[in-house]
Structure 1
Amino acid sequence: MSTVLTQKISAPVVRQYEIGGVRYIVKASVSGRASESAITKINRLIQGDLEKKKSQP
């Protein structure tokens, strides 16, 4: 008999988007090692892009 360890495994979220006639299939999953939420990460990435654009001539 084998021992099964209990793990919290969440199924990935799969969504379909159509942009400009191109269909995109997006698969997202949660990492147990993540140190920030998706919202925080997206905000950080947007802020970084805005800062890059400000510093370009």
Structure 2
Amino acid sequence: MNTVTNQQISAPIVRQYEIGGVRYIVKASVSGRASENAVTKINRLIQGDLEKKKSQP
């Protein structure tokens, strides 16, 4: 017997951003366990990418 809970499953949102000549494709989905919002996460990911590029020869 399957019990259906009151959760909604939605399709992820896909957006495309171009920042400094670099195209970022962002796939976002909602999680009740998230500890940061989408803006904070995107900023963190972009900063991490920039730091990687700085450290490469």
TM-score range for the pair, normalised by the shorter chain length: 0.5 to 0.7
The alpha-carbon deviation at position 16 of structure 1 amounts to: 8.1
Using the alignment, how far apart are the partners of 2:46 and 2:52 within structure 1? 10
Using the alignment, how far apart are the partners of 1:16 and 1:38 within structure 2? 12
Does 2:34 match 1:51?
no
Using the alignment, how far apart are the partners of 1:52 and 1:27 within structure 2? 21
Using the alignment, how far apart are the partners of 1:41 and 1:33 within structure 2? 14
How many residue pairs get matched? 45
Question: What residue identity is the alignment partner of 2:31?
Answer: S
Identity %: 68
Match of 1:39 in 2: 39
Q: Which runs of 5+ in 2 are unaligned?
A: 17-25
Where do 4+ consecutive residues of structure 1 move more than 6 Å? none
The alpha-carbon deviation at position 13 of structure 1 amounts to: 5.5
Superposition RMSD on alpha carbons, in Å?
3.1
Q: Which runs of 5+ in 1 are unaligned?
A: 18-25
The alpha-carbon deviation at position 9 of structure 1 amounts to: 4.0
